[in-house]
Every structure is written in structure tokens, then in C-alpha cells.
Structure 1
Amino acid sequence: MDYDNEKSSFLTENLSIKKYRNCFEKTIVTELKRFKLHCGRTTLLRILFCLFILFMILFRGYILCLLGFLNCYITWPFTAPLHVKIDLLNLSNEPKGHEYIPRRMHHILLGPLSSHPPESWLSARNSCIALHSNFEEHYYWTDKNGKEFLEKNYPWFVKSWLSYKTDIQKADALRYFVLHHYGGIFLDMDLYCLHKLDGLFNYLDNRVSLDEHIFLAVKAFPVGISNGFMITTRQHPLLKRVIDNLELYNRNFLLPHATIIISTGPMCISIQIQLNRSLWSSILILDGKENMIGGKTNTPVFKHLGSGSWHKADDMFFKNIPMDIQHQTQTFSISIIVFITFICVFFIGRNRNSIKVIFKIQLQLIRYLSLFKKIS
């Protein structure tokens, strides 16, 4: 009897111990799984953070360039250097006072075409020389004398200049250096002069003094300036900023169009304008649809042949975007607002209250822009 009782008691205790052990084992396994999962997430986050830091270090140059590009595109419609509308045909050609801007004209043609330029380009250049025969110098820059000029005055850039993949990049870069060194006016080879520019030079001379500078370029679409027609004093600090950053921007941005306009083209100098607001007092943007030199068009002083020698296949995307140039600032600004609104709705909150508030703000901004457009 005692034996049976002891046996029963032992079996009961053993069963309790087994249950407790099973429960303990399950708890340990569960906690280990949780710890392993937690450790895995933490490790993954650490790996991703390290990869992010590595990406920032390896591609810091690209990131800086693209940030400058985005800054220019986003801020230009709202704040930019002084835009002026000038009646170019009714300016006085008689000099008044000191000539601060050198009367020097620059044309650049590199590559195989420099030895046998198209007849239309020669006619265009000759028309400008004939109308400005009073200028002290007319420069025609080619691969040979362009390289010699850089070797003599900017030897640190020769290697980078020779590394450019296309002739248009070399021509873009060279124009900033010759204007910085000599001053004067730069004209693309496909700009046919219809009217003297002496009046414009006098107008600009009257806006500077001996210790100041002046730089003028034509407004571009949708933002920034065109670098196909520029007038400047010697050693202008804007051009110094541009040539100092050319090596940073000498990168491949995948698309041919993007690579050219950002590395040396119009966006390269436009980005520096937007990043150096302290120079805005010495920068003028020639405004007005009638003065824009994109494509085959006539302006009051030029006939633009529109050769488009640097445009690539991807540029057709930009050309085929239907936009009203007269209302480009308002259209572009509203597009930016819509884009920011989408980002806010998608990432910040999708509940009704958040969306209502965001769209109320958007509506007020659109009304403000419409009112601003009417006033201006």
C-alpha cells in the first residue's frame, strides 16, 4: 500500500516537473527567437546605415552637383537675379563715359568643324564682326589656340579640359575662361547679328564703376540663363566661381543631355548664380520672350540658326513638353507645389484631416501665385 502511494506520488511529481520543464523550454526557445529576430533587425539597420554612409562618401560629388541642380530648379521661379527688359533697338550707340566692358568678341569652334566650318556659321560670325569692326579684338578660338591659352593662363585645368568626352563640353568650359581673362562678349557660332550691340554695351557701362563688375546673359527656359550670349567685365567673380567648380561638375550623369548642361552647359553657370546670391547686384538677366535664343528664332538683335549641335536623343523629351513660355514661372511653381503636396500626403499622413489641411495650404499658395502674376 505504501509502495503504491509512493509510486503514485513520484509519478505525479515527475509529471509536474516534466510540464514545468516543457514550459521552461518553450519560454527559452521563444525568447531566443525574439532575441535572434531583434538582433537581426538591429544588424540589418546597422548594415544599411553603413552602406548609406559609404554611398554618401563615394558619390558625394554627384550628390553636391544634383543638390545644386535641384536648388536652382526649385528656387529660381521664386527668387533670382534682376531680370530686365531692354529696348535693344533704341539704345544710344554713342559712348558715355568710361568703357568698363572690354570691346572684345569671342567665338569658339572646336573639333573637326573648326578647320571647315559650315558656311552659315561663317556668315553669322562675319556679320557680327562687320557690325562691330570698332571692337579692339575679335577672337576665334580653336582646339590649338584654346589649349595654348589654357596652358599659359590656367595650366591647372588643361588635364580636365582634355578629359571632356565631347567638343561642346570643351567649348562651354573654354568660354568661361576666355571671358574671365579677357572680358567682352561671347557669341555662339550660330548667332547671326542683325543689329549693333554698342548701345547695350553703353547701357551696361552706365551700371558699373571702376571697383565693380557687370554680367549679362539671356533668360533660358524653364529656369536659369543661356550661355550662348554673354557680356561681362574682366575677372567677374561669377566666372571665377564657375571655373573653380568645373572639375567638381566634370561627371557623367548617365543621360547625354543632363551630362552636358550640368557639367559645363547653361545649368552649370545657372547653379553658381543661384548659389552665390552675394553676386546678384552685378548680374543682369535679359528678360522677354522676344530675346530668348532657343531653337531657330529671331530676336531684335540676332537671328539664331538653331544648330543644336549638343542636343542628344534624350533632349527630345524636354522639347516635346507642352508649356506656355509666357506663363512659365506660374506653371512651374504650381507643378512644384503639386509635387510637394503628393510627397506630404504619401509620407506624412493619409488620414482625412491631414489631407484637408495640406490641400487648403496648396489652394492658398495657388491663389497667392495667381494674384502675384496679375500684379506683376
Structure 2
Amino acid sequence: MLFHRCHLLLPIVLLTALIFLEFHIISFIHLFFEHAGISITQDEIFEAFVKDAHATEDEKRLQHIPKILWTESSCRKFIEEEYPWMLSTYDSYRFPVQRVDAVRYFLLFYYGGIYLDLDNGCLRNLTPLLYYPLWTTDGGRGALSNNILGSSPGHPFYTLLTKSLVTYNYDYVFPYITISYASGQWFETSIWEKYHASLPKNGVSRALKGYRVMMDDRPNTDPWIFFTQERGGSWVNWDNHFWL
């Protein structure tokens, strides 16, 4: 009898697993095509800032950008105090880098400004980027990047992004997929596309639009005016060579 029940349950379990995998494979595939939002080069951002009439008037320019270096303890304290509903998910992440990914979204939602990973540097003052209400970085191939981000405080994209972290918190067995799709750049790209799909086709205010700042490092592409990139590795794991 037990064997008979197992024999009947096995096809159901396999079918459920196949449907689940098919759904998520489709979800993964769409992350690697042309992305929503307005593509803009770093050179275009700088030139627009220089040509803007207001940029020549010191009293109308943003004068001071406070810099904050966040640590593991200060990040957890921030989540605990400001977003306690997220704390159990935050603590449950399988990999430490997932907490690093998640907290940056809450920091940008709360404070606004610009977030940079420690393996990124600055070539010049980042003030011109503060005039864009929402932007991410785009390497020109594959998913969007979440290593450099910018936003105004309380932007609706970050409302959706932070609220989606709980439902996206799933262990996909492979570390690279788990990190990327539960909180990392695949997750960010998925919500970016979902957010832009929800906007009206016409009459969208500038404050709601998302910009993709191009950071393509291939030969003969637009120069990097603002940023540098070194090799990080906090997300590196045993399965990386399968996906990269």
C-alpha cells in the first residue's frame, strides 16, 4: 500500500517541480534582454550638468554630500530600528552578502543619495548624479548591476524593491543563483522591469522615471567619467564558474 501511494505521488511531485523550474527559468531568461528605463552615458550626465544654467549658480548647486561607511553591526541596527518587519528575513539569509545586498535598498529608500560598493571608486565629484531621481548601473550585457545605485528618498521603486525581498527569499541550492535572485542583481533587475511595466505608457513624471547609467567595460564603448571598478569577491562561491 505504501509503495502504491509513493508510486502515485511521485509523478505529482515531479510535475510540480517541473512547473516550478519552468516558471523560474522563464523569470531568469527575461533578465538578460534589453532593459526598461532610460539609457544614459556618464558623459551625457556630466555634459548636461555643465550646460544646465543652474549649474553655474553656486547657491543653487548641491554643496555637500555626507559620506557614510556602513558596517555589519550598523546595518543590522538600522534594519532592526527602522524596518523591524524585515529583520527575520535579514537574519535568515544563507550568505552574508545577501544582507549587504538587502540593506543597500533600505538605505537608499530611507536616506536617498548614492550607494557604492567598496570595490568601486570615484573619478570625479558625483554631484551631477544627484539630479536624477532614480538610477542604476548597466554593464550593457546581462542583468543590471546593484554595485552602484542612486535614488531620491522614498522613491516608489524602492518601496516595491524592499517589500519584494521577503517573497523573493528562496534558496535555489546553487549559491550564485540564490545570491543573485533572492537579493542581488537578478532580483534588482526583476523588480526594475516589474516597476517600469506598472508605469503609465504616457505622461510619466520625471520623478518616477528610472535611468540606466551605462558602465560597459568592453573596448570602444562610452568612457567612464565618474566611476572606477576593481575586482570584488564577496559573492564568489564554488558554483561561479558554471554561470560566469
Mapped pair 1:161 → 2:161: no
Mapped pair 1:188 → 2:109: no
Aligned amino acid, residue 225 of structure 1: L
Partners of 2:9 and 2:73 in 1: CA distance:
51
Alignment-derived partner of residue 64 in structure 2: 134
Please identify runs of 4+ aligned residues in structure 1 that moved more than 4 A. Answer: 45-50, 52-56, 62-67
Alignment-derived partner of residue 37 in structure 2: 81
Structure 1 contact 249–263 (Cα < 8 Å) conserved: yes
Residues 239 and 63 (structure 1 numbering): CA distance in 2 closer, same or farther, change over 3 Å? farther
Return the index of the structure with the highest Cα Rg. Answer: 1
Residues 63 and 142 (structure 1 numbering): CA distance in 2 closer, same or farther, change over 3 Å? farther
Alignment-derived partner of residue 145 in structure 1: 74
Alignment-derived partner of residue 102 in structure 2: 173
Using the TM superposition, give the Cα deviation of residue 312 of structure 1 relative to its aligned residue in structure 2, in angstroms. 2.1
Partners of 2:193 and 2:185 in 1: CA distance:
12
Using the TM superposition, give the Cα deviation of residue 230 of structure 1 relative to its aligned residue in structure 2, in angstroms. 0.6
Partners of 1:315 and 1:95 in 2: CA distance:
48
Partners of 1:279 and 1:224 in 2: CA distance:
21
Residues 219 and 152 (structure 1 numbering): CA distance in 2 closer, same or farther, change over 3 Å? same
Partners of 1:285 and 1:150 in 2: CA distance:
27
Residues 190 and 47 (structure 1 numbering): CA distance in 2 closer, same or farther, change over 3 Å? closer
Residues 47 and 159 (structure 1 numbering): CA distance in 2 closer, same or farther, change over 3 Å? closer
Structure 1 contact 291–299 (Cα < 8 Å) conserved: no
Using the TM superposition, give the Cα deviation of residue 291 of structure 1 relative to its aligned residue in structure 2, in angstroms. 9.3
Alignment-derived partner of residue 312 in structure 1: 237
- Tell me how many residue pairs correspond in the alignment: 221
Mapped pair 1:278 → 2:207: no
Partners of 1:308 and 1:279 in 2: CA distance:
35
Name the structure where helix makes up a greater proportion of residues: 1
Using the TM superposition, give the Cα deviation of residue 64 of structure 1 relative to its aligned residue in structure 2, in angstroms. 6.0
Partners of 1:286 and 1:235 in 2: CA distance:
20
Structure 2 contact 31–143 (Cα < 8 Å) conserved: yes
Q: Secondary structure at the match of 2:68?
A: strand
Instruction: Give the one of 153, 161, 165 matched to 1:246.
Output: 165
Structure 1 contact 237–279 (Cα < 8 Å) conserved: no
Aligned amino acid, residue 144 of structure 1: S
Using the TM superposition, give the Cα deviation of residue 96 of structure 1 relative to its aligned residue in structure 2, in angstroms. 3.1
Using the TM superposition, give the Cα deviation of residue 82 of structure 1 relative to its aligned residue in structure 2, in angstroms. 2.0
Alignment-derived partner of residue 289 in structure 1: 216
Alignment-derived partner of residue 96 in structure 1: 54
Partners of 1:257 and 1:286 in 2: CA distance:
24
Q: Secondary structure at the match of 1:217?
A: strand
Calculate the TM-score normalised by the size of structure 2.
0.76
CA deviations over 1:332-357 (Å, ceiling 9, x no partner): xxxxxxxxxxxxxxxxxxxxxxxxxx
Residues 288 and 170 (structure 1 numbering): CA distance in 2 closer, same or farther, change over 3 Å? closer
Instruction: Give the one of 269, 275, 300 matched to 2:188.
Output: 269
Q: Secondary structure at the match of 2:170?
A: coil
CA deviations over 1:92-117 (Å, ceiling 9, x no partner): 368839xxxxx7xxxxxxxxxxxxxx
Q: Secondary structure at the match of 2:225?
A: coil
Q: Secondary structure at the match of 2:67?
A: strand
Q: Secondary structure at the match of 2:228?
A: strand
Residues 221 and 316 (structure 1 numbering): CA distance in 2 closer, same or farther, change over 3 Å? farther
Alignment-derived partner of residue 69 in structure 1: 28
Q: Identity rate of aligned residues, in percent?
A: 23
Partners of 2:199 and 2:54 in 1: CA distance:
25
Q: Secondary structure at the match of 2:98?
A: helix
Greater relative contact order (CA < 8 Å, ≥ 6 in sequence): 2
Residues 300 and 46 (structure 1 numbering): CA distance in 2 closer, same or farther, change over 3 Å? same
Partners of 1:306 and 1:156 in 2: CA distance:
34
Partners of 2:169 and 2:162 in 1: CA distance:
11
